[in-house]
């Protein structure tokens, strides 16, 4: 995480925490050491197995039958389970609290043992249930924010406070406006709050590009400058778990967004080459930054996830090329199901 900050990327620590800590180390400990079958969390999401693992009893009965089956039968069952019975991740009923964005990189074995009991209810309903159960104090407790897994945070805070000065350059004409104290302090699209700039602008300066290699912050004037928007971008082929929903010469109509709170935007996804896809949103996307997650969907079914990186803003202010983390959702009316996980 610190290395991503050092490179000027937009960091979403919740995603890596879910994949590597909560749904990996915690799950392994609970299942292997404590012998539990499933782990329930308070994430607002749902899976095709149901909020409370409705297929749990069936799974247990099947596991009991395994003791009486041949190795060939067990291997065949395993292949069928992996190839044709993948777990799908669905958005929660509460669109404001939906957290599938942060669960988008979970692998199939992690989703199989996960329970999301809050997926079919809203946050106000959760608080009401808590009050009814005598947990009013907890119901009124403020929500936790920020990074929660770095202990006393000494190393992290020391890094964030470490000054790494570099130039602030106006992207339009290349003029040097002043000096910043480190690219790790800035996020693409955010307003620049520096009092050391040599000249001001009534529109304000906004971060348009972060060059971590040369330690330069490029800015533009105004929050709606064209250089803050991407009209299309390229993504490298994600690691699909099953089939590829975007085949040769086929255009898939999906919806996309780059932040959890952003509304989805209709877009086209088509194959450019064997290992490249092109995404064309119907409206330009603002402040697409390295380290974010790019989401495409047409309903609520998760297909794929892949990290966004190598972002390059073109000087023509029109097209941008990306290799990103993408999680796609498949129309629930379609018969085929696709599953994937991100490359390590």
Whether residues 215 and 233 share a domain: the answer is no
Whether residues 249 and 208 share a domain: the answer is no
Structure tokens at 20: 């590597």
Highest mean pLDDT of the ranges 57-61, 169-173, 252-256: 169-173
Whether residues 295 and 244 share a domain: the answer is yes
Residue 2 has pLDDT above 70, yes or no: no
Better-predicted residue by pLDDT, 263 or 206: 206
Confidence of residue 115 (pLDDT cuts 50, 70, 90): very high
Residue 77 phi/psi, 5-degree rounding, is -65, -40
Q: Is residue 338 part of a domain?
A: no
Whole-number pLDDT of residue 322: 32
**Tally of domains in the chain:** 3
What is the β-pairing status of strands 293-297 and 325-330? parallel
Contacts of 61 (CB under 8 A, 6+ apart): none
Contacts of 273 (CB under 8 A, 6+ apart): none
* Largest pairwise CA distance in the chain: 79
Q: Is residue 56 part of a domain?
A: no
Whether residues 234 and 263 share a domain: the answer is yes
288-299 tens-digit pLDDT:
765 555 555 544
Whether residues 195 and 212 share a domain: the answer is yes
Whether residues 21 and 36 share a domain: the answer is yes
Whether residues 208 and 260 share a domain: the answer is no
Residue indicated by tokens 């290992």: 275
Better-predicted residue by pLDDT, 321 or 206: 206
Contacts of 158 (CB under 8 A, 6+ apart): none
Whether residues 232 and 204 share a domain: the answer is no
The mean-pLDDT minimum among 89-103, 111-125, 315-329 falls in 315-329
| 336 and 243 Cβ atoms separated by less than 8 Å | yes
Whole-number pLDDT of residue 155: 56
Residue 179 has pLDDT above 80, yes or no: yes
Structure tokens at 22: 């909560």
Q: Is residue 258 part of a domain?
A: yes
| 102 and 13 Cβ atoms separated by less than 8 Å | no
Which CATH number is 196's domain given? 2.30.30.280
Whole-number pLDDT of residue 3: 62
Instruction: Give just the sign of the alpha carbon dihedral 112, 118, 121, 123.
Output: negative
Whether residues 216 and 245 share a domain: the answer is no
Q: Of the candidates 289, 266, 290, 292, which has an alpha carbon nearest to the alpha carbon of residue 279?
A: 266
Annotated catalytic residue within 56, 148, 220, 320:
148
Span 293-309, average pLDDT: 49
SS3 30: helix
Q: Of the candidates 172, 248, 259, 186, which has an alpha carbon nearest to the alpha carbon of residue 217?
A: 186
User: What's the whole-number average pLDDT of the chain?
Assistant: 70
Whole-number pLDDT of residue 317: 36
Q: Of the candidates 110, 151, 93, which has an alpha carbon nearest to the alpha carbon of residue 25?
A: 110
Whole-number pLDDT of residue 331: 34
Report the DSSP beta bridge partners of residue 191: 206
Q: Which residue segment(s) compose the domain that 187 sits in?
A: 162-223
Whether residues 235 and 294 share a domain: the answer is yes
Whole-number pLDDT of residue 247: 61
For the question of residue 256 being annotated catalytic, the response is no
Q: Is residue 23 part of a domain?
A: yes
Whole-number pLDDT of residue 234: 72
Highest mean pLDDT of the ranges 77-86, 157-166, 194-203, 207-216: 207-216
Dist CA 94 CA 207 (whole Å)? 32
Span 162-187, average pLDDT: 86
Residue 314 has pLDDT above 60, yes or no: no
Confidence of residue 311 (pLDDT cuts 50, 70, 90): very low
Which stretches of 92-243 are assigned E, i.e. beta strand?
Answer: 114-115, 166-170, 176-180, 205-211, 216-221, 229-230, 233-236
Secondary structure (DSSP) of 161-197? H----EEEEETTT--EEEEES-GGG--TTPBP--TT-
Whether residues 24 and 105 share a domain: the answer is yes
Chain length of the chain: 344
Whether residues 302 and 250 share a domain: the answer is yes
For the chain, the first-to-last Cα distance in angstroms comes to 15
Whole-number pLDDT of residue 103: 84
For the question of residue 148 being annotated catalytic, the response is yes
Residue 224 has pLDDT above 50, yes or no: yes
Which CATH number is 303's domain given? 2.40.30.10
Helix (H), strand (E), coil (C) string for 229-265:
EECCEEEECCCECCCCCCCCCCEEEEEEECCCCCCCE
SS3 340: strand
Q: Of the candidates 7, 19, 100, which has an alpha carbon nearest to the alpha carbon of residue 289?
A: 7
Whole-number pLDDT of residue 203: 85
The four Cα atoms 195, 199, 202, 206 give a dihedral, to 10 degrees, of -70
Dist CA 282 CA 316 (whole Å)? 19
Distance of CA 244 to the CA centre of its chain: 20
Whole-number pLDDT of residue 69: 54
Q: Is residue 61 part of a domain?
A: no
């Amino acid at each position: 995480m610190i290395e991503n900050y050092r490179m000027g990327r937009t960091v979403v620590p919740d995603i890596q925490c879910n994949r590597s800590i909560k749904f990996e180390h915690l799950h392994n400990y609970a299942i292997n050491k404590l012998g539990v079958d499933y782990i329930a969390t308070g994430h607002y999401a749902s899976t095709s197995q149901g909020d409370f693992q409705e297929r749990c009893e069936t799974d247990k009965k099947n596991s009991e039958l395994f003791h009486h089956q041949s190795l060939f039968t067990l291997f065949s069952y395993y292949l069928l389970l992996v190839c044709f019975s993948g777990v799908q991740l669905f958005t929660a009923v509460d669109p404001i609290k939906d957290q599938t964005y942060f669960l988008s990189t979970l692998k199939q074995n992690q989703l199989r043992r996960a329970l999301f009991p809050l997926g079919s209810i809203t946050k106000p309903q959760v608080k009401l249930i808590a009050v009814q159960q005598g947990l009013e104090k907890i119901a009124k407790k403020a929500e936790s924010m920020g990074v929660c897994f770095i202990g006393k945070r000494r190393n992290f805070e020391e890094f964030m406070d470490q000054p790494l000065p570099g130039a602030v350059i106006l992207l339009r004409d290349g003029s040097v406006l002043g000096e910043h104290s480190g690219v790790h302090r800035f996020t693409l699209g955010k307003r620049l709050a520096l009092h050391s700039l040599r000249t001001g602008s009534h529109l304000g300066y906004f971060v348009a590009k972060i060059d971590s290699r040369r330690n330069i912050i490029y800015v533009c004037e105004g929050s709606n400058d064209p250089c803050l928007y991407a009209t299309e971008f390229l993504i490298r082929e994600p690691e699909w778990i099953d089939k590829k929903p975007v085949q040769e010469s086929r255009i898939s109509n999906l919806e996309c967004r780059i932040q959890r709170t952003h509304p989805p935007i209709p877009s086209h996804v088509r194959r450019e080459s064997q290992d490249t896809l092109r995404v064309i949103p119907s409206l330009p996307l603002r402040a697409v930054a390295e380290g974010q997650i790019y989401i495409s969907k047409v309903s609520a079914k998760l297909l794929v996830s892949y990290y966004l990186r190598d972002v390059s803003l073109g000087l023509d202010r029109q097209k941008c090329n990306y290799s990103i983390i993408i999680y796609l959702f498949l129309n629930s009316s379609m018969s085929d199901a696709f599953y994937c996980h991100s490359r390590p």
